[in-house]
Amino acid sequence: MELDERKRTILHAIVRNYLETGEPVGSRTISKMADMALSSATIRNEMADLEEMGLILQPHTSAGRIPSDLGYRVYVDEMLQRHEAEGEQSRSLQTDEHVSLEDREQALQDREERLLDREAKLEKLLKQVARMLATDTNYASMISAPMVRRNKLKFIQISRVDVSTLLVTVVVEGNVIKNRMIPVADVLDDETLLKLNILLNTRLGGLSAEEINLGLIAAIKQEGGKHSELITSVIDAAAEAITEDEDLQIYTSGANNIFRYPELADKENASGLITTFENKQDLTSLVESTLEGEASEPGTGIQVYIGGESPVQSMKDCSVVTATYELGEGMRGTVGVIGPKRMDYDKVIGALKKMMRALDDLYKKT
């Protein structure tokens, strides 16, 4: 939508004033602004054009104007372009470790314990991020635990539990660990286990589920000789670990902040929003929508949903600003702020960008 500079200036003035006051904005109010060298009559004419274009609304007769959802959209898109022009700090992915198979075997148990401890610390960190965003913005906030693109196998470890049971530990991208118990008919000595571990890691390490095809499996089973049945069970466990979906964890904070804003505080709106924050199931669509948007337009960083654009039904009267954070090795999640349509978008986007930059550093320290 093409706007000349005068209309753009007046639209921005209406949006900024309404964000601050929550009250309809009149031509006299705009004419008194320091950067507005226009008469009230000229401003009224431009406001009439903006209303005809669907960018502002007149809620009551003889009242001032308020931004429409389309008006917010124009304002936010131009602000995002400005932020983009200012440049964003890129985040680099962590690289895979390159260590020998024997070193991996010796260190696996310690590594698993460290990863489990780090996972607990990450949960604490994400909850802290949600609280900080809610406090800094005076809106509600949410953050999802990172969803890992577990499409490649990093390492397999077969260990003896007892004479009839083996433990198969599978490490996939993102250092996600999955354990499976496999029954065995014959007792396997340490040398045999080591040979099987070397065989499986040599042939399967770094492969995706699609690359582990029937031909490859047949070749590995042939190399494994009499242990072909066991190899089939281990490969099945590895494929399951690569493709298995986990329950998405979402942490929220500041839901009560919505009562600060009259347009969201009526019984029906407030009840729907509080239920959404408590149950969190509906927030999954918001996370998925954000990650899909980032996948289709990588590097955009920030996404803004205004009113009916939100994928969450209870947030149709809100604005939602989300961002995709990345912790390395395919660990990506969504962080977002939910508030009224007249939220301070500039402040919220700034807070999200600051949080995205800090998350990686904080995670490395956990």
Q: Return the pLDDT at 358.
A: 76
Q: For 324-353, write each residue's pLDDT tens digit.
A: 888 765 677 889 999 999 999 999 999 998
SS3 332: strand
Rounded distance between C-alpha atoms, residue 170 and residue 192, angstroms: 19
Q: For 253-268, write each residue's pLDDT tens digit.
A: 998 898 888 888 887 7
Domains of the chain, first to last: 5-67 (1.10.10.10), 115-148+248-365 (3.30.450.40), 153-243 (3.30.390.60)
DSSP string, 18-46: HHHH-S-B-HHHHHTSTT----HHHHHHH
pTM greater than 0.85 (yes/no): no
Fill in the amino acid letter for 113.
Answer: E
Q: Return the pLDDT at 246.
A: 61
Rounded distance between C-alpha atoms, residue 320 and residue 290, angstroms: 11
CB 164 within 8 Å of CB 183: yes
Give the pLDDT mean for 68-91.
74
Q: What is the CA radius of gyration of the chain?
A: 27
Phi-psi region of 306 (alpha: psi -120 to 50; beta: other; left: phi over 0): beta
Fill in the amino acid letter for 339.
Answer: G
